């Protein structure tokens, strides 16, 4: 996921003013690849903090990077003067994404930037051919039972607007990919890992999963699945 999404994430962070001296916070950093890059960009006078519930995947020895174990649902991250606060692929898993976004906003300085990147599975709902659509229909039914919001992308801009942010801008980036590509491999690995849970849920059968995996190996099959929704805004003056 880092290889697939970091280039876009870095591009938007640069547009928002990442430079030496800037103070950045990443929420739900996972393996920390974005924050490791941020630490290099803001050095030496800046600060790059990365928080996650589980830091076991993050490299601990990156110069200038502060890793902290924290739950963004529990409160803001201190000190609450970050110039840029970002989170990618975190909110759709949370029981209360609004609380997380409020805590991200409260972690930023007045006029600081908030950058959210989350999925919206709109393209999957019209995927072709029918057997692929059948897979995504089952996948999305399973995710609803798991309380994962794969359509949160469309809710981000209204959420930031409702929380009083200014200069809100939103885009979505959707990869077109074919079987055998890096995205197809991402889905092959993800589905292989989740296969027992998917079939046990009754939402997907082995037949439907196998048909999807055959497509993922077919270079002649081109598709799109996820619109990664990129939304940013500026916090109000307090």
Q: Which residues bind ligand SAM (CB under 6 A)?
A: 1-2, 5, 27-30, 51-54, 71-73, 88-90, 93-94
Nearer to ligand SAM, 53 or 192 (CB): 53
Contacts 24+ apart (CB under 8 A), 153-159: 153/118, 153/119, 153/120, 153/122, 153/227, 153/228, 153/229, 154/120, 154/122, 154/229, 155/97, 156/91, 156/116, 156/118, 156/229, 156/231, 157/231, 159/97, 159/98, 159/101
Q: How far is the CB of 6 from ligand SAM (least distance, A)?
A: 8
Q: How far is the CB of 175 from ligand SAM (least distance, A)?
A: 14
E strands, the chain, in order? 23-27, 47-52, 65-69, 82-88, 108-120, 166-174, 177-178, 222-223, 227-234
Q: Looking at the DSSP assignment, which residues form a beta bridge with residue 173? A: 228
Q: How far is the CB of 51 from ligand SAM (least distance, A)?
A: 6
Q: How far is the CB of 134 from ligand SAM (least distance, A)?
A: 25
Nearer to ligand SAM, 41 or 133 (CB): 41
Q: Looking at the DSSP assignment, which residues form a beta bridge with residue 230? A: 117, 171
Nearer to ligand SAM, 77 or 208 (CB): 77
The residue number whose beta carbon is nearest to ligand SAM equals 30
Q: How far is the CB of 87 from ligand SAM (least distance, A)?
A: 7
Nearer to ligand SAM, 20 or 98 (CB): 98
Nearer to ligand SAM, 30 or 138 (CB): 30
């Amino acid at each position: 996921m880092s290889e697939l999404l970091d280039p876009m994430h870095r591009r938007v962070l640069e547009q928002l003013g990442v430079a030496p001296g800037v103070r950045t916070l990443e929420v739900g950093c996972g393996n920390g690849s974005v924050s490791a890059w941020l630490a290099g960009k803001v050095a030496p006078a800046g600060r790059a903090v990365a928080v996650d519930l589980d830091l076991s995947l993050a490299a601990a020895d990156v110069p200038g990077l502060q890793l902290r174990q924290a739950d963004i649902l529990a409160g803001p991250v201190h000190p609450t003067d970050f110039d840029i606060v970002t989170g990618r692929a975190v909110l759709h898993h949370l029981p209360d994404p609004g609380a997380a976004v409020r805590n991200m906003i409260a972690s930023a300085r007045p006029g600081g930037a908030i950058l959210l990147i989350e999925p919206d599975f709109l393209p999957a709902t019209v995927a072709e051919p029918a057997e692929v659509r059948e897979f995504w229909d089952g996948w999305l039914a399973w995710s609803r039972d798991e309380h994962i919001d794969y359509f949160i992308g469309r809710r981000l801009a209204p959420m930031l607007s409702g929380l009083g942010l200014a200069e809100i801008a939103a885009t979505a980036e959707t990869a077109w990919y074919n079987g055998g590509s890096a995205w197809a491999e991402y889905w092959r690995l993800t589905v292989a890992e989740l296969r027992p849970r998917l079939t046990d849920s009754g939402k997907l059968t082995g037949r439907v999963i196998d048909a999807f995996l055959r497509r993922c190996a077919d270079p002649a099959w081109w598709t799109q699945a996820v619109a990664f929704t990129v939304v940013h805004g500026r916090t109000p003056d307090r």
